[in-house]
Amino acid sequence: MKHRILIVDDEPNIVMSLEYAFKKKGFEVFIARDGSEALTILKDTIPDIVLLDIMMPNVDGYQTLKHIKNTVSLEATKVVFLTAKNKASDIEKGLKIGADKYLIKPFSVKKIVSEILELVT
């Protein structure tokens, strides 16, 4: 079965590199440039994983995560923050509000793919 991932980030280079890497691993990839676009996609799509930046225009990652956690149809969806916010308090907040994992930018694409594969297999 093909895994589905929604990549939510406003940095085009990050999106392109992650999209390529996950497609190469056989994932069905969906892309959102901010939280509001992600919420629109999530109305029609139930991904296995949402890879989510925190600092984005319109709807930020925290608001997006809260929506996911409050949506019954998305209860099995894993959420991984991928962000430049690297203070201990940021990490604690992200995990406390429900992120399954908290990964910090800059990152290795290979490491991100490995971390995500651990969550879906």
Q: What pLDDT digit, counting tens, does each position of 23-77 carry?
A: 999 999 999 999 999 999 999 999 999 999 999 988 999 999 999 999 999 999 9
Quote helix, strand, coil % in the chain, to nearest 5.
45, 20, 35
Pairing of strands 49-52, 78-83: parallel
CATH architecture of the domain covering 4-120: 3-Layer(aba) Sandwich (3.40)
Residues 6+ apart with CB under 8 A from 115: 80, 101, 103
Q: How confident is the model at residue 87 (pLDDT cuts 50, 70, 90)?
A: very high
pTM of the model: 0.95
Burial of 36 (0-12, 13-18, 19+ CB in 10 A): middle
